[in-house]
Amino acid sequence: MSDAKAVADRLVKAKRLNALLTPPKDLRKSLLAQAAAARPTGVLYGMPVAVKDNICTLEFTTTCGSKILEGYQSPYEATAITKLKAAGALIAGKTNCDEFAMGSSTEYSAYGRVVHPLDKTRVPGGSSGGSAALVAAGVVPAALGSETGGSVRQPAAFCGVVGIKPTYGRVSRYGLVAFGSSLDQIGVFGRSVHDAARVLSVISGRDPRDATCEDRDPLRLPTVPESLQGFVIGLPREYFPPELDPAVRRACDRAIRMMKELGAAVREVSLPHTPYAVPTYYVIAPAEASSNLARYDGVRYGPRFDGNTDLRGLYRATRGQGFGPEVRRRILVGTYVLSAGYYDAYYRRAQQMRALIAQDFRNVFDRGVDLLFTPTVPSPAFKAGEKLSDPIAMYMSDIFTVTANLAGLPAISLPIGRVKGLPIGGQLIGQAFLEDEMLEAAYALERVVPATDDA
């Protein structure tokens, strides 16, 4: 049992990161109360788990990093939270994130940007940047994030921690604030593969309150394998383009060499529709977001920004003032691609392309490949402000992660080296509901790869 007071102290000390949205006083009080009530027999007994602010909790407010939900207290909690508490974990506050999980740098929060724990001039990645930064800074051993296009794996890679995005349907999304419903999954950060995996195991499994959650038992954790004998690992050539950052390439080459030494068979494969993944994603995700975010209208919950006009004026003023620039942009793009006359050109096309991208993965897995290995992000953490004026440059940061979301597959990012002190992430993409195989390989790789050495 970790000392709840010590955890609260660490969380307060990490204030410079701006990673936590819960006021320190509330957090301390809640942690002490939770520790007193925690189930001593639970498998996560006493483990503090920080939670991204788009996952509903009864202990703390849920703002999604947005002004439009400022001060919002949810009247119910997410199934993932209920499961964590039942396992004895302590909910260690709510973490800062890009507004409604839309962003790749955690600069689009209404509550200020999150600072990279190793270099204050850089971003921690996003959108779950607060969760990643707290785990990387050693404040909590694990945290929950959410993924729509890479929002756990990308910040995990930037911050040098482990990030897992489970198969679509593995974890209940009841209580996860919806962004792109055909893509969203709750994901987990950990300082090690095992820390992340055991939290994932607890929150996974059936939930009658989420129709998209598979009727399966919770994930069973594999043991750490002696070798990777029998594993066939594919290297998709589209993920190693000539313009890939040389240090990222060196770190990947080293990890690949180590997997071979562990006995894995490594072969080059092709996922030919990969170049279309980012444009596909940036049609589907905004389209779904424009629909999901229609509920924020100043009538039922959250603040109301102008009550003196007529009803329509109230909607427009509340949404116009409540949403930040990236959310506004995505709502407008999403509304555009769904509007009459454009639906076939954009949305239907993107849906077809999504099917082809998923088929690419099936083709490779059908030919005997067990897992794919890729860089998680094309470069290490970038400078704050660097990509704010260019949405497309920001979107390209998701180029190696969005495919797993589009195809609904599980994927993990783990640290595989550093360049000039900045972490580099390597990614394993697995087959649907075969997280155990993916975790086995990650355990083996984690044990041998010099994660903090320069590549």
Partner 1 sequence: MSVSRDDVLRIAQLAELDVADEALAEIADQMSRILDYVAQLSAIPTNGSVKTFVPGPDAIRFRPDEVAPAPLAFGPEDFAPAFKEGFFVVPKLGQFE
**Which residues in 350-369 contact partner 1 (CB under 8 A)?**
350-356, 358
Given candidates 46, 218, 263, 391, which one binds partner 1 under the rule CB under 8 A? 391
Q: Is 282 in the site for partner 1 (CB under 8 A)?
A: yes
What secondary structure, in 3-state letters, does 109-135 show? Answer: CCCCCCCECCECCECCCCCCHHHHHHH
| Minimal distance, residue 169 CB to partner 1, in Å | 4
Structure tokens at 66: 């947005």
Residue that has been written with the tokens 């529709």 in this structure:
273
Annotated catalytic residue 52: yes
Beta bridge partners of 188: 144, 164
Report yes or no: 84 and 56 within 8 Å, Cβ to Cβ.
no
Q: Is 307 in the site for partner 1 (CB under 8 A)?
A: yes
Closer Cβ to partner 1, 18 or 104, answer by number: 104
Given candidates 230, 313, 385, 421, which one binds partner 1 under the rule CB under 8 A? 313
Residue 62 gets which letter from DSSP? Answer: -
Q: Is 301 in the site for partner 1 (CB under 8 A)?
A: yes
CA angle 343, 346, 348 (to 5 degrees): 65
Closer Cβ to partner 1, 145 or 302, answer by number: 302
Out of 52, 67, 94, 165, the active site residue is 52
Closer Cβ to partner 1, 36 or 211, answer by number: 211
Q: Is 270 in the site for partner 1 (CB under 8 A)?
A: no
Given candidates 68, 102, 407, 412, which one binds partner 1 under the rule CB under 8 A? 407
By CB under 8 A, what part of segment 224-243 binds partner 1?
Answer: none
Annotated catalytic residue 151: yes
* 246 phi/psi in degrees, rounded to 5: -60, -35
Cα gap 366→202, rounded to integer Å: 30
Q: Sign of the CA dihedral 159, 80, 374, 384?
A: negative
Q: Is 294 in the site for partner 1 (CB under 8 A)?
A: yes
Helix (H) or strand (E) holding 50: strand 48-52
Closer Cβ to partner 1, 225 or 303, answer by number: 303
Out of 30, 74, 104, 127, the active site residue is 127
Neighbours of 365 (CB within 10 A): 21
Q: Is 397 in the site for partner 1 (CB under 8 A)?
A: no
By CB under 8 A, what part of segment 180-219 binds partner 1?
Answer: 182-183, 208-209, 211-212, 214-215
Q: Is 415 exposed, middle or buried (0-12, 13-18, 19+ CB in 10 A)?
A: buried
By CB under 8 A, what part of segment 324-343 binds partner 1?
Answer: 328-329, 331-333, 335-337, 339
Given candidates 58, 86, 232, 388, which one binds partner 1 under the rule CB under 8 A? 58
By CB under 8 A, what part of segment 164-183 binds partner 1?
Answer: 167-169, 182-183
Site string for partner 1, 409-438 (x = CB under 8 A): -----------------------xx-----
Out of 151, 201, 204, 397, the active site residue is 151
Helix axes 4-13 and 24-37, enclosed angle (nearest 10): 160
Closer Cβ to partner 1, 192 or 359, answer by number: 359
First-to-final CA distance of the chain = 37
Closer Cβ to partner 1, 239 or 282, answer by number: 282
The stretch near partner 1 (CB under 8 A) out of 43-51, 161-169, 218-226, 379-387 is 161-169
Cα gap 314→302, rounded to integer Å: 13
Q: Sign of the CA dihedral 120, 121, 122, 123?
A: positive
| Minimal distance, residue 289 CB to partner 1, in Å | 11
Nearest of 122, 78, 119 to residue 104 by alpha carbon: 122
Q: Is 37 in the site for partner 1 (CB under 8 A)?
A: no
Nearest of 118, 424, 398 to residue 255 by alpha carbon: 424
Annotated catalytic residue 201: no
By CB under 8 A, what part of segment 75-114 binds partner 1?
Answer: 75-76
Number of residues that bind partner 1 (CB under 8 A): 74
Cα gap 107→129, rounded to integer Å: 9
Closer Cβ to partner 1, 133 or 406, answer by number: 406
Tell me the catalytic residues.
52, 127, 151
